Chain A
């Protein structure tokens, strides 16, 4: 079966190798150049003793557009990287078994002297391994490219930066391909299987970062006076420098969220009372404002939940593990569909 699996899928494997070579040709020169410029600027600013302005200078120099693959101006590349697991699921996963049904070749290969279970196991093993290897190399290239950006902008823990580098793309790719294989085997047709693979995987890619990811490890939090949040994080706190801010809200002394439709009466001020420091216009029509210093006196505060930067690697491992474990569902379903159903 090993030879036959290779024979059937070598064109796809070759195509993946070509994509890797092309992406390496793009990402390695850009990544090395950025890292070089960063090192040079760092050395220069140390001599001039003005490294606090380093990132500003580099931003102004204009090369920030390529600082990481998701920067402005590299939209298509960023989208391509994020779309990678989708494309693998649709074009490697879905046709894998669907095409055997469509062409009737399942009846040819399932009547050789190989059990259907062995046929499926070998096929899944090679295709999923190739997928994992491809995704790992692809993500490594993205990580290398992002190195200067990660160091300078410290945003790899947030949003799409988290999703496109490190090891999570391996989990995404394996799951997407397993999902595509299952829907292909289920519907025995390509288009509906592609549509469902797309919808289910997209839903997961939205739900996981917004609902699950913030809670892999209980978030830490800090509190600041109302309306003047950012300046008051103590220097050296792990809430700075690459942490991921999850959310922030204003609470009263009993830690209840502030009720803006019924704020404390003594803190309501005319909206045009510019003298009062840190006031907040509440109603859109500008009829109501609340005094920040007044709320602070009453014990109100802002609470910000965040994940410190040092948890980045743990989060990468947890999220990759989550997707790999989830892959058991489509893989198990594929076994059921192939072994228990009529050809």
Chain B
């Protein structure tokens, strides 16, 4: 790892993936510092799964490149041993028991921590001698997570792991994840895609927003909140200003709401009431903006 890369778990430059003439991911530029827990959000078809697959070399890029832990992702054992990956559908061998899956990890993974996996699953009362095909969705997700975590990865990639889970299973999954991150004390970087913004806000400190295959936002959540504001002011004002970029504009009876990205740090205005806003509203504003642009096309 050269000096310039130190501190970044993931850095992509112009990363793109094309299927035929369709770009599933285009011009993706993200930087994720080591030790952060990053939420990967965006509408369906924004390329979230594609990005995660590129990072673990289940897919190879059509453009640009990715540096993960100082290396270009490849299929070697040395690279793969550092990455934990949980695919969206949580694939497991339904005809094998949970214990056999752990044995698989023990045989195929270099740094396998069997005790970690067993204690994790026992704590959740998941029977090790059951066929995986007989488990509930939440239990399957936990087995998938255990298989990824017991690898002792430096980077954990989770593709919508909680999408199909009921609220209780979702909470348990996120608790397991938070515990794992705390235990790793800064050694583990996580990228988790999801639609559930409230969940992500609880667990994550970083946010990547992809829309129609392009990166819209990639920053720490604190910094994103610091640089976005809700401006409320009277109707019929000239709204544009070099001080900010308008993301979303709404008009009520006699007031205008602007969700803006500040172009300079210290923004004050006599014209507008300036409010802090939350990550959910910011993300929605970006997603609406892209959708409306799409409509115009």
Contacts and interface: CB of A to CB of B under 8 A. Distances in A.
A106 B75 CA distance: 13
Interface stretch (A62-70, A115-123, A270-278): A115-123
B108 A112 contact: yes
Contacts of B111: 113
A114 B91 contact: no
B80 to A, nearest CB: 5
B109 interface: yes
Given A8-B93, A343-B53, A114 B87 contact: no
Contacts of A107: 58, 85, 87, 91
A205 interface: no
Contact of A7 (B84, B85, B94, B96): B96
A113 B91 contact: no
B107 A116 contact: no
A4 interface: yes
Interface in A299-343: 339, 342-343
Contacts, number: 74
A112 B104 contact: yes
B59 A343 contact: yes
Interface string B73-110: 00111001101110101011110100010011101111
Interface string B256-279: 000000000000000000000000
Given A114-B80, A114-B108, A115-B80, A105 B75 contact: no
Contacts of B105: 112
A104 interface: yes
Nearest to A116: B75
B77 A105 contact: no
Nearest to B148: A111
A90 B107 CA distance: 29
Interface residues of B, number: 31
Contacts of A118: 77
Contacts of A116: 75
Nearest to A114: B108
Contact of B108 (A109, A117, A342, A343): A109
The secondary structure that dominates the A interface is: helix
B56 interface: yes
A108 interface: yes
B216 interface: no
A113 B58 contact: no
Nearest to A3: B107
The secondary structure that dominates the B interface is: loop
B59 to A, nearest CB: 4
Interface residues of A, number: 24
B187 to A, nearest CB: 17
B11 interface: no
A244 B56 CA distance: 59
A103 B147 CA distance: 17
B151 interface: yes
Contacts of B60: 342
Interface centre among B76, B93, B94, B96 (most CB of A within 10 A): B93
Interface string A24-56: 000000000000000000000000000000000
B25 to A, nearest CB: 12
A112 B53 CA distance: 14
Nearest to A99: B93
B92 A4 contact: no
Nearest to A103: B91
Contacts of B100: 7
Contacts of A108: 87, 91-93, 147
A115 B76 contact: yes
Nearest to B111: A113
Interface string A76-119: 00000000000000000000000000011111111111111110
Contacts of A111: 56, 58, 80, 83-85
Nearest to B87: A107
A117 B74 CA distance: 12
A1 interface: yes
Contacts of A115: 75-77, 80
B200 to A, nearest CB: 22
A342 B77 contact: no
Contact of A114 (B56, B77, B93, B94): B77
A111 B52 CA distance: 12
A342 B58 contact: yes
A199 B53 CA distance: 35
B96 A113 contact: no
Interface string B199-221: 00000000000000000000000
A7 B59 CA distance: 27
Nearest to B50: A342
Interface centre among B80, B147, B151 (most CB of A within 10 A): B80
23 contacts: A1-B107, A1-B108, A7-B103, A7-B104, A8-B93, A108-B87, A108-B91, A108-B147, A109-B108, A110-B75, A110-B80, A111-B56, A111-B58, A111-B84, A111-B85, A113-B77, A113-B108, A113-B109, A113-B110, A114-B77, A114-B108, A116-B75, A118-B77
Given A114-B108, A342-B58, A343-B53, 7 more contacts: A3-B103, A4-B107, A103-B93, A105-B91, A108-B91, A108-B93, A342-B59
Interface of B: 53, 56, 58-60, 75-77, 80-81, 83-85, 87, 89, 91-94, 96, 100, 103-105, 107-111, 147, 151
4 nearest A-B residue pairs (beta carbon): A104-B91, A113-B81, A343-B58, A112-B108
